[in-house]
Amino acid sequence: MSVEKTFNPGAAVHTDGDLRYEVIIGCEIHCELLTKTKAFCSCENRYGGMPNTRVCPVCLGLPGAMPIPSHEYVEFGARAGFALDCSVARFTKFDRKHYFYPDLVKGYQITQYDLPLCSEGKVAVNLAKPDEAPRFKTVRIERIHLEEDVGKSLHIEGAHSYIDYNRSGVPLIEIVSKPDMSSPEEASLYMQTIREILRYIGVTDGNLEEGSMRCDANINLRVIENGVEFRTPISEIKNMNSFKAIRDACTYEISRQLKEFREDRQAFSQGFKVTMGWDESIGETVVQRTKNSFIDYRFVVEPDIRPLVLSDEFLSVAKAEVGERPAEKRERFKREYGLSDFDVNTLTTDRGLSEWFESAAKAAKDPKKVANWVLAEVLAIVNDRGVALEDLKFTPAHIAELVNAVVSGSITSKQAKDVFARMNESGERPDAIVKELGLAVVSDSSAIEKIVDDVFAANPAALEDWKNGKTNVAGWLTGQVMKMSKGQANPATATALVQKKLADIR
C-alpha cells in the first residue's frame, strides 16, 4: 500500500504537463567586511591596487607566521549576527578547511566549522512591490561564520596565469540560510535584503561589481508524479554577484532540472551535488564538478588561534551598534511622517539618504513636503548629475527652511522652485535668497485688491462673459492677478478677492 503524496498547504505548487513541483532554494552569501585590516594580520584591507603589495608572512601563509584575529573583525561579525536576529555565541573558535587551489596559499582556509559565531537567525524579506504595503516572508538563517577570503587568479588568455594575494586573508562572513526560498524572485530579494541590512549597519560596502558580496544558491525541486514524490539532485550555483544573475540562474536551473528529471528520473541522494557556475553570456548554468560523495575537507581546529570567549560587554557593544534596521525605519517613517509605502521605500534604500531626509523633516513644519522635495528635486540632482548627498551645496537645513517658507505662506510653491534652483547653485540660505530677490508673497489684501481692480478694469470683455453666465472666468482673472503681481500675490487671497468682486457684479 502506498501513501499518496501531496504538497504542504501554502506551498507554491507549479505545474509542468503531468508533473507538479515546488522549488526549494537555500543561499550561502559570502560578504567582505569593511574592517581596517585583514582578518589575521595588520595588512590594509582594501580593494584593488597593485597586485601583491598588501601582503605579509601571515596572509601569504609562510611557515611560522601566527594569525591573530582582529577585534573589529569579530565585532563586525557579531554585529551582523545581531542584525539578522541570530544568537551570538559567547564561546567560539576557528578551524582549518583543507583544499588545494592556487589562490589558497596555505592549502587550507581559516574558517569556523562546528562552533560558528552566530546561529539560528532570521530575516524578513519583503515580497511586495515598492508602492504596495509590505508583505513579509521569513527566511531562517542557519548560521553565520567568520572566514578568510582567498587570493585572486588572473588568467591571461594565451599567456600565463597570475595570482594576486592582496585579497588573501580579507575578512569574510558566510551567511547560510535554510532552504526557505521557493522561487528565483525570492532568492534574489533575499540577497537584496541581506545586502541592504549589512550596508545599513556599516559592516560591508556590499559592492557587487568588486565582489564584496557573492551568493551561492542551492536549488532543487520537489516533484510529485502520479502521487509519488521525488526530489531532484541539488545544484549549487557558485559565486553570483548580481541580483539578476541569481534570478536568471535559478530560473534556468528549474527548467533544466525538470527536463533532466523527465529524461532519467534521477532522484536526490544525500551527498550528491552538482556544482555549477552561471555563464551570463550564454544564459546557462555550466557544470564545474559533480560529487557523488562528501568532499573531505579534513576540518581540524586551528591550533594557532586560541578559542574566543566573548564578554558581555563586547556583545552588548556589538548589539548597540546595529541601531535601527531598514524595515524598522520604514515603519517609523510611515508612522511619524505620514508617508506612503513608495515614498518610504525610496527614502530608506540608502541609510545616508534616510538620515539626510530625517534631519530636514525634523526641522520642518511639514515633513510630507520635505519628502516631496527630497524625492523629486534632490534625488534628481543626485541621480541625474551623479552628485553625492554630502557634496551638494545645500544641506537638510536649507530644505527645511524652504519648506517652512512655503508653509508659512511667505513664498509660493512656484517661487520655491526658483529659490531651490538658486540655493543649489550658490548654497545660500533660502531666507536670504527670498529677501535678496524680493520674493516675499504679498498677503496684504489692500495691495492685492488694488491689482484685482486693475485687472477688472483692463478686461471688460471677460466681465461681460461672466455676466452672460460663463463660469470659468474667475480662474482666468485670478491668473491675470497672479501674473500682474509677478507671482507674489498670495494665491488664496487673490482667489477670494476675485470671487468676491465677481459676486458683486452678477
CA–CA gap between residue 25 and residue 182 (Å, rounded): 6
Contacting Mn ion within 407-446 (CB under 5 A): none
Q: How many residues does the chain have?
A: 506
174 binds Mn ion (CB under 5 A): yes
First to last CA, the chain: 93
174 makes contact, choosing from Zn ion, Mn ion, none, with CB < 5 to 8 Å by partner type, with Mn ion
Question: Among positive and negative, which fits the CA dihedral 57, 58, 60, 65?
Answer: positive
Enter the C-alpha cell of residue 351: 541609510
Render 460-478 in DSSP notation, one character per residue: HHHHHHHHTT-STHHHHHH
Minimum CB–partner distance for residue 99 and Zn ion (Å): 21
41 binds Zn ion (CB under 5 A): yes
Identity at 209, one-letter amino acid code: E
The nearer residue to Zn ion, 41 or 400, going by C-beta atoms, is 41
Binding piece for Mn ion, criterion CB under 5 A, among 167-175, 179-187, 189-197, 263-271: 167-175
Minimum CB–partner distance for residue 141 and Mn ion (Å): 15
Binding residues with Mn ion: total (CB under 5 A) = 1
The nearer residue to Mn ion, 174 or 253, going by C-beta atoms, is 174
Minimum CB–partner distance for residue 149 and Zn ion (Å): 12
481 makes contact, choosing from Mn ion, Zn ion, none, with CB < 5 to 8 Å by partner type, with none
The nearer residue to Zn ion, 69 or 116, going by C-beta atoms, is 69
Binding piece for Mn ion, criterion CB under 5 A, among 169-177, 265-273, 438-446, 492-500: 169-177
The nearer residue to Zn ion, 58 or 84, going by C-beta atoms, is 58
CA–CA gap between residue 304 and residue 502 (Å, rounded): 92
The nearer residue to Zn ion, 59 or 439, going by C-beta atoms, is 59
* Longest CA span, the chain: 102
The nearer residue to Mn ion, 174 or 248, going by C-beta atoms, is 174
Binding piece for Mn ion, criterion CB under 5 A, among 8-16, 47-55, 168-176, 289-297: 168-176
The nearer residue to Zn ion, 142 or 148, going by C-beta atoms, is 148
Enter the C-alpha cell of residue 423: 540655493
Check: CB of residue 375 under 8 Å from CB of residue 343: yes
Question: Among positive and negative, which fits the CA dihedral 311, 314, 320, 321?
Answer: negative
The nearer residue to Zn ion, 55 or 389, going by C-beta atoms, is 55
Q: Where are the beta strands (DSSP E) in 106-233?
A: 108-111, 118-126, 136-148, 152-155, 161-164, 171-177, 213-225, 228-231
The nearer residue to Zn ion, 50 or 159, going by C-beta atoms, is 50
What count of other Cβ atoms lies within 10 Å of the Cβ of residue 462? 18
| Residue whose CB is nearest to Mn ion in the complex, by number | 174
Q: Which of 27, 43, 150, 234 binds Zn ion (CB under 5 A)?
A: 43
Minimum CB–partner distance for residue 341 and Zn ion (Å): 47
What count of other Cβ atoms lies within 10 Å of the Cβ of residue 490? 20
Cell 492685492 appears where?
Answer: 448
The nearer residue to Mn ion, 174 or 236, going by C-beta atoms, is 174
59 binds Zn ion (CB under 5 A): yes
Binding piece for Zn ion, criterion CB under 5 A, among 15-23, 57-65, 226-234, 242-250: 57-65
Binding piece for Zn ion, criterion CB under 5 A, among 43-51, 119-127, 365-373, 483-491: 43-51
Check: CB of residue 370 under 8 Å from CB of residue 357: yes
Minimum CB–partner distance for residue 171 and Zn ion (Å): 12
What count of other Cβ atoms lies within 10 Å of the Cβ of residue 377? 17
221 makes contact, choosing from Zn ion, Mn ion, none, with CB < 5 to 8 Å by partner type, with none
Measured in whole angstroms, the distance separating CA 250 from the mean position of its chain's CA atoms is 21
236 binds Mn ion (CB under 5 A): no
Binding piece for Zn ion, criterion CB under 5 A, among 41-49, 106-114, 185-193, 393-401: 41-49
Cβ contacts of residue 233 below 8 Å, gap of 6+? 220, 257, 266, 267, 268, 269, 272, 273, 274
56 binds Zn ion (CB under 5 A): yes
Minimum CB–partner distance for residue 369 and Mn ion (Å): 48
Minimum CB–partner distance for residue 200 and Mn ion (Å): 23
- 309 forms beta bridges with 91
Question: Among positive and negative, which fits the CA dihedral 489, 492, 494, 497?
Answer: negative
The binding site for Zn ion (CB under 5 A) comprises 41, 43, 56, 58-59
The binding site for Mn ion (CB under 5 A) comprises 174
